[in-house]
A and B are shown apart, each in its own frame.
Chain A
């Protein structure tokens, strides 16, 4: 059974870069049938897709995040990562890593990593 687990700092200072890693277990990140991505949820609010990447290249990110997003895949470690630059308090959220089927649904999800942006 495929499992995803986020890791990274829970506190980031304003203007710095938020960095999270998702470790995939129980399956290969090099599967041709899936993308890998990130979704976030601010406290008490709904879900926002951040970005996605394919194991061999090709990345997509939410235009509303104004090119601050980098999603990358490391096949040697069976991991993928998120970098979100120039963070502000508005980036405070629970960040989920997800597997994205080519037909566009997210399953499974990691348990979520809470990140607070504060000095």
Chain B
């Protein structure tokens, strides 16, 4: 099974900060890595697919990078609505899929 490890597990930041979340795969997954945002009480929402492609309607302050085993999600300038939990998900081992454990982004 392919394991995804996110770091940090939680993060405190301020509005306007630049924030980076990392997702590391237990083996190479090429660019088969997707990112989601989940706000309390809501379903997750797709932000980035195939490592760096921005989903339609997602603000351009979100960006994804990486390939192989190491990936990052960066928010260039935090907005109040960005405080949420973020998950990475791999599709390299399709039709089996796994998620990272999540990174909770909180207001400092």
Contact = CB atoms under 8 A, between A and B. Distances in A.
Q: Do A and B bind each other?
A: yes
A47 B99 contact: yes
Given A104-B32, A104-B91, A107-B55, A49 B43 contact: no
Interface stretch (A9-17, A22-30, A76-84, A108-116): A108-116
Interface stretch (B17-25, B44-52, B71-79): B44-52
Interface residues of B, number: 25
Contacts of A112: 43
B101 interface: yes
A105 B91 contact: yes
A60 B96 contact: yes
A49 B49 contact: no
Interface string B97-108: 111111000000
A49 B99 contact: yes
A49 B46 contact: no
Interface of A: 35, 46-49, 52, 60, 62-63, 96, 101, 103-112
11 contacts: A46-B101, A46-B102, A47-B102, A48-B99, A52-B95, A96-B44, A103-B32, A105-B49, A106-B34, A106-B46, A111-B42
A62 B46 contact: no
CB-CB nearest 9 A-B residue pairs: A104-B91, A60-B95, A109-B43, A107-B46, A49-B97, A105-B49, A105-B34, A47-B99, A104-B94
A77 B98 CA distance: 30
Contacts of A49: 96-99
A63 B98 CA distance: 12
Nearest to B94: A104
Contacts of A46: 87, 99-102
Interface in B29-46: 32, 34, 36, 42-46
